Structure 1
Amino acid sequence: MASTIEMKSSRATLPRDVALPGHFHSFFSFPVNKGGYSGVAVYTDSHTAVPVKAEEGISGRLQPQPPLSAEERVSPSYPRPDEMTLYADEEGEVPSTFDALDAEGRALVLDFGLFVLINVYCPNETSDARLSFKMNYHLMLQERVRRLIEEEHREVIVLGDINICSTPLDHCDGHLPSSQATFYDHPARAWFRKWLSPNGPMIDIVRSFWPDRKGMFTCWNMKLQARETNYGARIDYILVTKGLLPWIQHGDILPSLKGSDHCPIYIDLRDEITLESGETVRLCDAMKQTDGTRDPPRIAAKFWDEFSGKQTVLSSFFGKRPESQTKVDPTESLTASPPTTQASTPNAQGESVAPSSQSKNPEASGEVVKKFKPSQPFRPLAAPATKRKAVEQSANSSKKRKHVKGQASIATFFSKPPTSSPTAASSKTQKTQEVIEIEDDAPTSTPPSTLASALSDEAPSSSQAAQDQLEADYRLACELAKADAVSLSADDEPAPSPSSSSQPQAQKKAAWSQVFAPVPPPNCLVHGEPTKLWTVNKQGPNKGKKFYLCSRPVGPGYDKGKGERLRDEVDHQYRCNYFKWASDVRKEAQRERERERTRTKSGEP
């Protein structure tokens, strides 16, 4: 009958097939300023459920052009900030209007006769500064529902992403003793607990069908592989008022349907119910659905200018033209057209006579119009001789360049040119070795111990990270120079015999294979298993850096590190708190190679 969606898009990027999918009516609310940041949508089947009224936002401040009339509005009254106790922001200021709360495209309100449906996407607490914004939005929603119930005596359905866990049973770590003790200390959870039945007017209808069901989660952190172990939370709800309970037949979640970090939730309504008086009421009659089709409210997407033919879409300028406009007779442009102005000609009596209108169209007057037909096919002009000569010289020079010998080695970019004697080459290798040994004693940065520090801007500064990267690159350059030192010294010497060149060639190949051998991932300390490579995507000085984490997925009681979880509550079958920067792993592997090379030269076992 109807479906609601949380979406992150904008009106400008909304495809037509998404805005007008078949026989469904659609309603959208997008952010005023932040395109793609948030948004909600409602689709209704035009064959079964067409809303009587519809509006965008909760405060009544968001209006189309022209604004909704009193008859088009869902409610006669709306929440007012001066009549409510709101949260102050970090600067101690309390909002005087709800414009900012409704400007992020987080709500649609539709009147279906039997009930008023409110589709919401409540704010998330991404920082301490957003806590007051989040709480004020919940209070505005609560006041709007209160006015519908108490002042207008309406039944209400509130559904969508509330972004709150109502009970410890709805959180993946809710079973831990430390979590249960402080679960309702958060103001949003405390507010939600008071708003839900039996403390408040709203009934969590899906939970009412599954009161003791564990793991009934609707959202997972996809970056942590949390869906594999069902390490999630239930933050999506369908809340109804008491008067709608007889109409609701069933409700559940659909975690098997993937495609997002959320899963769908649903309720089924009965086609008809029998009242206590014995009267049977059909759902379509209670929802004021007529047998004939009627137009949806004015804010539906089908009435937007870009979809109703009132606005020319930019793509129309680049699409294919109709065949009648593009197909032209090829001989038509070659027809000798009459001149637009003609001089007067004398007649037999010598009088000046102006040309008649018929003379302007030779075909109409019966005159034969000759059309130009080329006797030979069109051929492009040959290039000038000087240009052909320049092209030939350029081609010859490119061929010559392919046969140039004495190509510089990659090591010449990192070290001084070698001398012609083997002694100089060996001394060069010894100096390179000394440089590497000195660099091994340089201090390295201490890696953070948790994933949170890896994704935080409080990790090592950009200058330190750049210095570490330069050191790793310099070590690689020295390795390349050492691997190519033999070939550099051999370029200036007479060509050796095949038997004497086989040994340096084998050494060179072995050195290069060792330099470019991939660094194996380290093992985590708890499980002793190879770790997994990740990349920092968060904006900050560490964006783009790579790091290693335990390869096991997260799960209930996984080790977050930094003392965020009690040691006796850690479940070691899930991810441990191992963390190490990839640059540190490369440097450790380089030092190990140097120690192995030193032992080999000294003859140590």
Structure 2
Amino acid sequence: MRIVSWNINGIRATKTGLKGILESLQADVICLQETKVTRDLLDEPTAIVEGYNSYFSFSRGRSGYSGVATFCRDSVTPLAAEEGLSGLLSSHSGAIGHYGNTDEFSEEELQALDNEGRAVLTQHKILLSEGREETLTVINVYCPRADPDKPERKSFKLRFYHLLQARAEAILNAGGHVIVLGDINTSHRPIDHCDPDGLESFEENPSRKWLSQFLVDPGRTCATLAPPEERESPESSGAAEGRFLDSFRYFYPARPDAFTCWSSATGARHTNYGTRIDYILGDAALVRGHFQDSDLMPEVEGSDHCPVRACLGCVVLPAPRCPPFCTRYLPEFAGRQQKLLQFLVKVDKGRNCADKEAVKVLLESKEKRENQVSSGSRQGLTSSQKRSEAAVQKGAKRTKLGPGNGQGSLLRFLRPVEAKTTNPQPTTKTTLEKPAPCLETPPVAFWKSVLKGPSPPPLCKGHGEPCVLRTVKKAGTNHGKQFYTCARPEGHASNLQARCNFFQWATKKAGHSS
């Protein structure tokens, strides 16, 4: 069984067809995050892909925001599926259940945590190598980002983490196995960050502290599989032993420069200046006993993230029918909803001869009237019609700009204006017929003087190369201002091929260049 997770950064922004992308990933279960599609924007080619059954969760508050989707090959059809972590969005049959203890959450908070379309769960029946059948639940999540400018989002992120843990451990306690995968939006250890700041306090970050207690320390020889009530709380000093393993670090505990996300705005992927925030986390018994490999796929482009994959030594037993949550059962794709095309009548161009005959009569009548006017036959026209015709003919004469194609030269409007005299002399006929003076400046030189291009950008001090112009997008006093910076991609300070620290405001101000 092969599983792939990828933050695709917009499922509709792909340059190739979705089916081609899914096939290229060569997996049985493909979990996508940040699809940026809401239900009203989901089209049939995205929802219904031949050979796959899909499960979408949409943001209910913002368009083009968040969203996750899981695509399963028809040969690994899940036996149950649902969206959300709280159970509030799963009113249909075929849900997975087991929601854990959520007493610490209010119903309003649970609704808010699920309304952003951040979780899809599929449950599969698997046959292990020893011949035992068990269930495997795949929790596909797009965890929130902690926006430093919005303190409430930091709290939202931590609450999402705690709800995710409650759900994952509840399913695990009910039997079977669990995989939590997706964009977790936290780099766990300093080795997972290209340039960690403050190493002495790096692991004190609340998100990292949560991840540390959720995971088993890969250096430990065995996993503590005690239920959560017998372990230390998440708010403890960090000594609590988790129940899940970071599958990549299980196989590659010391691999450096292993990142999954880079800033596309700074071109950081070219210098591998990134972070590892995309994970496949399996329960310890599953990873140790049945995972064959888990790795990153940095060669796959098309997003600011790269996919991550895992290979399991088990066989999936497909369900005979997709669970009710499957996208193909939505009314707009199941043939139960009337579409706009049903109300559009196809017009046969070869029919309605009566209409063609009427058009022919009208054209002949129009041609007859025009011939009468051109031949001087003005009888029957009223005085008002004659005046209108004369006005049209007079206006037509005024619009003639000269011989040839009737188009005047643009230079006629750019002639020098003659200075007015205090005692103008009567204009003679000879003066009127005198041609206007020509421009003294040749046309090319003239346009160069009028249409001056922008000033060349400054050269960065680190490489002596032309800088790139950027705009401040962060809210604050400098929002919207433009500045010049080194055009090379962002990278570590020790990387001579990366961007230097040159900075200069587009409108140069004292103290703002370096």
TM-score with structure 1 length normalisation? 0.61
Q: Deviations over 1:474-520 (max 9, x none)?
A: xxxxxxxxxxxxxxxxxxxx9999xxx99x64899489549715411
Matching residue of 1:25: 53
CA 1:74–1:405 in structure 2 vs 1: closer, same or farther (change >3 Å)? closer
CA RMSD of aligned residues (A): 3.7
Matched letter for residue 396 of structure 2? A
Structure 1 counterpart SS, 2:38: coil
Q: CA deviation at 1:381?
A: 3.5
The superposition leaves residues 97-131 of structure 1 with CA deviations (integer Å, 9 ceiling, x where unpaired) of 31111110000111113211100000001232210
**Alpha-carbon spacing, 1:45–1:522, altered in 2? closer, same or farther (3 Å):** same
User: Contact 2:260–2:276 at 8 Å: present in 1 too?
Assistant: yes
> Take 2:256 and 2:38, find their aligned partners in 1: how far apart are those partners?
37
The answer for the alignment partner of 1:398 in structure 2 is: 399
Name the counterpart of 2:318: 289
Q: 2:341 and 2:471 mapped to 1: Cα distance? A: 38
Q: 1:165 aligns with which of 179, 187, 190?
A: 187
* Equivalent AA in structure 2 for residue 17 of structure 1: P
Deviations 1:502-544 (A, max 9, x none): 9x64899489549715411111233332211224556788666
Per-residue deviation, residues 205-264 of structure 1 (Å, max 9, x unmatched): 122222221111111110011111111111000000123233322221111111111111
Would the aligned equivalents of 1:81 and 1:96 in 2 still touch at CA under 8 Å? Answer: no
Q: 2:280 aligns with which of 221, 225, 238?
A: 238
**For the residues of structure 1 that align with 2:357 and 2:455, how far apart are their CA atoms?**
73
Contact 1:122 1:162 in 2 (8 A): yes
Return the offset for 1:548: 1.4
Q: Is residue 8 of structure 1 aligned with residue 36 of structure 2?
A: yes
Q: Judge which range, 21-30 or 124-133, deviates more.
A: 124-133
SS at 2:39 equivalent: coil
> What's the counterpart of residue 468 of structure 2?
532
Indicate the larger mover: 11-20 or 207-216: 207-216
**Equivalent residue in structure 1 for 2:152, among 129, 150, 167:** 129
2:169 is the alignment partner of 1:141: no
Bigger CA radius of gyration: 1
Structure-2 change in CA distance of 1:2 and 1:516 (3 Å): same
Task: Describe the shift of the 1:142–1:527 C-alpha distance in structure 2 as closer, same or farther (beyond 3 A).
Answer: same
- Given that residues 292 and 313 in structure 2 are in contact (C-alpha distance below 8 angstroms), is that contact kept between their aligned partners in structure 1? yes
Q: Is the 8 A contact 1:173 1:179 kept in 2?
A: no
**Structure in which a larger fraction of residues adopt strand:** 2
Q: Aligned to 1:206, which of 238, 248, 267? A: 248
SS in 2 for 1:399: coil
Amino acid paired to 1:528: G
CA distance in 1, matches of 2:410, 2:39: 61
Which residue is 1:548 aligned to? 484
**CA shift digits 1:422-452 (9 cap, x unpaired):** xxxxxxxxxxxxxxxxxxxxxxxxxxxxxxx
Q: 1:68 aligns with which of 92, 95, 119?
A: 92
Q: Quote the Cα distance in structure 2 between the aligned partners of 1:234 and 1:76.
A: 30
Match of 2:306 in 1: 263
SS of 1:146's partner is helix
Counterpart contact for 1:26–1:42, Cα < 8 Å: yes
1:389–1:525 CA distance, 2 compared to 1 (3 A): same
In structure 1, the partner of 2:292 is: 249
**Structure 1 residue 45: deviation in Å?**
0.9
Matched, 1:105 2:105: no
Query: Cα offset for 1:142?
Result: 0.7
**Cα distance in structure 2, aligned partners of 1:404 and 1:584:** 42
Contact 1:172/1:556, CA 8 A, preserved across alignment: yes
Tell me the equivalent position of 1:55: 82
Matched, 1:188 2:207: yes
Residue 365 of structure 2: which of 378, 381, 387 is its match? 381
Q: Which residue of 1 aligns with 2:25?
A: none
Code of the residue aligned with 1:101 in structure 2: it is: L
Report the counterpart of residue 36 of structure 1 in structure 2.
Answer: 64
Q: How far apart, CA to CA, are the structure 2 residues paired with 1:239 and 1:213? A: 17
Q: Secondary structure at the match of 2:140?
A: strand
Residue 223 (structure 1) aligns with: 265
Aligned partner of residue 547 in structure 1, secondary structure? strand
- One-letter amino acid of the structure 1 residue matched with residue 399 of structure 2: S
- Following superposition, the deviation at residue 172 of structure 1 comes to 0.8
Provide the residue aligned with 2:502 in structure 1: 578
Q: Describe the shift of the 1:395–1:61 C-alpha distance in structure 2 as closer, same or farther (beyond 3 A).
A: same
- 1:309 equivalent in structure 2: 335
From the superposition, tell whether residues 13 and 405 of structure 1 become closer, same or farther in structure 2 (CA, over 3 Å).
closer
Structure 1: distance between partners of 2:208 and 2:419 = 76
The superposition leaves residues 351-386 of structure 1 with CA deviations (integer Å, 9 ceiling, x where unpaired) of: xxxxxxxxxxxxxxxxxxxxx989x87635326755
1:380/1:304 CA distance change after superposition, 3 Å: farther
Cα 1:408–1:400 change in 2 (3 A) is closer
Task: Point out which structure has higher relative CO (alpha carbons under 8 A, 6+ apart).
Answer: 2
Partner Cα separation in structure 1 for residue 73 and residue 249 of structure 2: 27
**In the alignment, what sits opposite 2:137?**
116
Contact 1:79 1:140 in 2 (8 A): no
- Count of matched residue positions in the alignment of Structure 1 and Structure 2: 414
Quote how far apart the aligned CAs of 1:574 are.
Answer: 2.5
Query: How many angstroms apart in 1 are the aligned matches of 2:419 and 2:470?
Result: 45
Using structure 2 for the length normalisation, give the TM-score.
0.71
